[in-house]
Amino acid sequence: MLFRSSIMKQLLLDWGTPRPQTFDTFVVGKNAELLALLTGISQQKNSTLGHQMITVWGPSGSGKSHLCHALLTQAHARLLTPSHAVSEFIPTADHTTYLLDDCDQLSEEQQKEAFALFNHVRESGGCWVACTNQPPAQLTLREDLRTRLGWGLIYELHGLSDEEKLDALSKSAQSRGLSLSPGVLPYLLTHFKRDMPFLSAMLDALDQYSLETQRPITLPLLRELLQSGEANTSP
């Protein structure tokens, strides 16, 4: 049975330490071309118009938000999401790169301003990276914004296979000097949310709990951690 989200949230609050969302911590998988392009943008190596209007689509947990935050290292980048006020979608002189995450969830007013922002970025020679859960042709947005999202480069963000996830988690553990019993990582993969940010955070939580209890990371320790999460979320 999947781990309850309330218990997961409490565990990560108690034990987890958010990992920096950088290009170095992004697990590439089959997305090498996209990563190279975005890395170039962050280093201001791409200046042609065709490489400035980009739409990245993929399911929740595939890494879209991770890439947006990695691009924020650029000095003049600005991140916009459905949680931002409509007024924040108005372009400013301080920003030349605009990152729109979860475009598919924008309100009608936000979509209107996003359309105007797209035109501004295109005309001014800036950079636009929009992230959605579906390819532009399938989005239920304002027609003018939806068609603009299909004007530039479109990349599908490919999720990792189970084998790639296990390999990435194993390498992450090794790089931190963690010794895991053989069944821990497969258990994480089959009993929890399967996206990498969550799995990495759970590995961090296990590491912290192991240090606190002075015990090796084994399946019994993992189950004990889960029970502590259940206790912490009880009424």
Res 15: pLDDT:
44
Burial class (CB within 10 angstroms; exposed 0-12, middle 13-18, buried 19+) of 70: buried
- What's the confidence (pLDDT) of residue 143? 96
Residue 23 lies in a domain: no
Q: Is 21 part of a structural domain of the chain? A: no
Phi, psi of 151 (to 5 degrees): -75, -40
Question: What's the pLDDT at 173?
Answer: 86
**What's the confidence (pLDDT) of residue 188?**
85
Residue 37 and residue 148 in one domain: yes
Phi, psi for 141 (deg, rounded to 5): -120, 175
Task: Give tens-digit pLDDT for 185-219.
Answer: 998 888 877 778 778 888 888 888 888 889 999 99
CB 150 within 8 A of CB 54: no
Phi, psi of 232 (to 5 degrees): -70, -20
* β-sheet bridge partners, residue 80: 100
Residue 31 CB-density burial (10 A; 0-12 exposed, 13-18 middle, 19+ buried): buried
Q: Is 27 helix (H, G, I), strand (E, B) or coil?
A: coil
189 vs 149, higher pLDDT: 149
Residues 93 and 111 in one domain: yes
Q: Name residue 54's beta-bridge partners.
A: 129, 153
Whether residue 58 sits in one domain with residue 9: no
Q: What pTM was computed for the model?
A: 0.77
Q: What is the CATH number of the domain that holds 125?
A: 3.40.50.300
What pLDDT shows up at residue 31? 94
Tell me the C-alpha distance between 94 and 81, whole Å. Answer: 18
Residues in the chain: 235
Query: What residue numbers bound the domain in which 228 lies?
Result: 5-14+160-232
Compute how many other C-beta atoms are within 10 angstroms of the C-beta atom of residue 200. 20
Domain total of the chain: 2
Final residue belonging to a domain, choices 138, 156, 174: 156
Same-domain status, 44 and 138: yes
Query: What would the mean pLDDT of 83-93 be, rounded to a whole number?
Result: 95
Query: Which amino acid, residue 100?
Result: L
Distance separating alpha carbons of residues 42 and 87, to the nearest angstrom: 25
- The whole-angstrom separation of Cα 50 and Cα 141 is 23
